[in-house]
Amino acid sequence: MEDVAIIGIGQTKIGEQWERSLRNLAVDAIQAALKDAAVDHAEALYVGNTLAGEFTAQQHLGALLADWASLGSIEALRVEAASASGAAAIHMGHMAVASGQLSLVVVCGVEKMTDTDPAIERGALASAMDAEYEAMQGLSLTASSALLMRRYMYEYKVCHEDFAPFAINAHKNALGNPYAQFHKAITLEDFKRAPVVADPITMLDSAPVADGAAALVLCSGELARRSCSKAVYIRASVVATDRLALHSRRDPLFLQAAYVSAHKAYLQAGIGPSDIDLFELHDASTLLAALSLEACGFAPRGKGIRLGQEGQIDLQGSIPISTMGGLKARGDPLGATGVYQVAELIQHLRGEAGANQVRNARIGMAQNIGGNGATAITHILEAPY
């Protein structure tokens, strides 16, 4: 197996981008990544996208974006794993280069969510769950997260405001990220006063919809060592799954896929949780942040929220998370999110994260989660310097 490096990153501003269509956003990100890598071509393009068919009646994004990014007749495919589609595309790019078949590929995550009817949007988001056993009963994705959060609060005897540090940290860190959807610090009072979406989940627990695109240029380690001084290396890329419907899981508060994916990644990289300098986790809700920290070995069951209360998730803490705003405040353009997470790790590993820089960052982990946790994809990256 060849080793794989990332030599270019590109991100667009996240938010309501009514003047840019899906293809424009994606091409902006791809061109920025190619420029950052100082290359003008690629052998393949892997696109992470969740719902372009539902939102903009456009499938076949591989061919569309290879065409609009002027990449020629190259291999181009789309990968989907609900909200983990971005990391799925990175995983595919990693496989292509690791196989020795290709040596220079582009990965792009893109989602255009704000140009659609809210009813279509809710239905489309529910397609990440079991359509026949969950969505068909009227359960929405946020409502099912709310059931889980209520159960967590009951099981571990915690209250809603115990989750506040995750949202406050995310919003604070987004202030230093020019691509973030929100540039607005929030207080504990704001968190307590936020309108309810699905009790107990409020507007400040959950990531909103957004448009955005991010891209990466991957190449063989050999090529990177020859031609790129700022390459960052992929030390692990692991996909794992769990039962899709919540009612099928033995313990819905344990993210089995996140656990398996992270621990296989630790094995692949030959490290443990204590070696991770920063962790971009999938805080689609504050609850998911807590569950991810627990599944990945940073806290015992039921104690994930403590890391927030103790300030360990801050930029100077023992395990900084949502360092550029996370899903909550950087934004969550579904299929693009996993690519943003890895692009942000690279900003830190290169020492280019500006005011948000995690000091001496050498090893970063990102975890992208599909739906309620049925898919989890973990990447571990390392800077060689």
> What is the nearest approach in angstroms of a copy of itself to the Cβ of residue 31?
18
In whole angstroms, what is the distance from residue 236 CA to residue 270 CA? 9
Q: Do the beta carbons of residue 286 and residue 147 sit within 8 Å?
A: no
- When asked if residue 50 is in the footprint of a copy of itself (CB under 8 A), the reply is yes
In whole angstroms, what is the distance from residue 29 CA to residue 274 CA? 33
- When asked if residue 131 is in the footprint of a copy of itself (CB under 8 A), the reply is yes
Backbone angles phi, psi at 297, to 5 degrees: 90, 15
- Which of 28, 80, 314, 332 contacts a copy of itself by CB under 8 A? 80
> What is the nearest approach in angstroms of a copy of itself to the Cβ of residue 371?
6
Contact code string over 189-228 relative to a copy of itself, x by CB under 8 A: ----------------------------------------
- Which of 35, 40, 41, 100 contacts a copy of itself by CB under 8 A? 100
Strand 44-48, strand 104-111: pairing: parallel
> What is the nearest approach in angstroms of a copy of itself to the Cβ of residue 345?
21
In whole angstroms, what is the distance from residue 249 CA to residue 259 CA? 14
- When asked if residue 256 is in the footprint of a copy of itself (CB under 8 A), the reply is yes
Length of the chain as a residue count: 385
- The amino acid at residue 117 is D
> What is the nearest approach in angstroms of a copy of itself to the Cβ of residue 114?
16
- When asked if residue 58 is in the footprint of a copy of itself (CB under 8 A), the reply is yes
Strand 278-280, strand 363-370: pairing: parallel
In whole angstroms, what is the distance from residue 70 CA to residue 57 CA? 22
* Interface with a copy of itself in residues 341-380 (CB under 8 A): 370-371, 374-375
- When asked if residue 111 is in the footprint of a copy of itself (CB under 8 A), the reply is no
- Which of 14, 39, 92, 174 contacts a copy of itself by CB under 8 A? 92
Residue number with CB closer to a copy of itself (64 or 201): 64
| Part of the chain binding a copy of itself (CB under 8 A), chosen from 130-138, 143-151, 200-208, 303-311 | 130-138
> What is the nearest approach in angstroms of a copy of itself to the Cβ of residue 80?
5
Residue 89, C-beta contacts closer than 8 angstroms, at least 6 positions apart: 46, 47, 48, 78, 79, 107, 108, 109, 335, 338, 339
Q: Do the beta carbons of residue 336 and residue 109 sit within 8 Å?
A: yes
Tokens 């390392």, residue? 382
- When asked if residue 76 is in the footprint of a copy of itself (CB under 8 A), the reply is yes
Q: Do the beta carbons of residue 33 and residue 216 sit within 8 Å?
A: yes
Give how far Cα 364 sits from Cα of 257, 333, 372, Å: 19, 21, 24
List contacts with a copy of itself (CB under 8 A).
1, 21, 23, 44, 50-51, 53-54, 56-64, 66-67, 73-82, 88, 91-92, 95-96, 98-101, 123-124, 126-132, 135, 238-245, 248, 256-257, 260, 370-371, 374-375
